[in-house]
Amino acid sequence: MTHSSRSKSLAASPFAPPAEVVPVIYTVGERVVHDTFGLGRVISVEGTIAVSIDFGSFTRRVTLPASRLMSL
């Protein structure tokens, strides 16, 4: 019995390659909403690393990618 070195992975396999994540680009002044902190405005952008957001009564630095952050 021979074992082939090439095998086809199943779609539901836990070993399937992860889906490609497309980075979201934020711009200064952009309105965003965060699941925990609410509505805010981007005040600074550190490339694809992090954004600083003014939520009104406080400012928060959010590292990217952030699944809880969404553009409006």
pLDDT tens-digit series, residues 24-33: 899 999 999 9
Give the pLDDT mean for 50-69. Answer: 95
Q: Domain for residue 53, yes or no?
A: yes
Q: Domain for residue 47, yes or no?
A: yes
Q: Domain for residue 16, yes or no?
A: no
Q: Which one has a higher pLDDT value, 40 or 13?
A: 40
Q: Which one has a higher pLDDT value, 44 or 2?
A: 44
Our count of domains for the chain comes to 1
- Does the global pTM surpass 0.85? no
Q: Domain for residue 44, yes or no?
A: yes
Q: Domain for residue 7, yes or no?
A: no
Domain that holds residue 56: 31-71
Q: What is the CB neighbour count within 10 angstroms for residue 34?
A: 16
Confidence at residue 45, expressed as pLDDT on a 0 to 100 scale = 97
CA 64 to CA 52: how far, in whole Å? 11
Q: How confident is the model at residue 49 (pLDDT cuts 50, 70, 90)?
A: very high
Q: What is the mean pLDDT of the chain?
A: 86
Q: Domain for residue 1, yes or no?
A: no
Q: Domain for residue 15, yes or no?
A: no
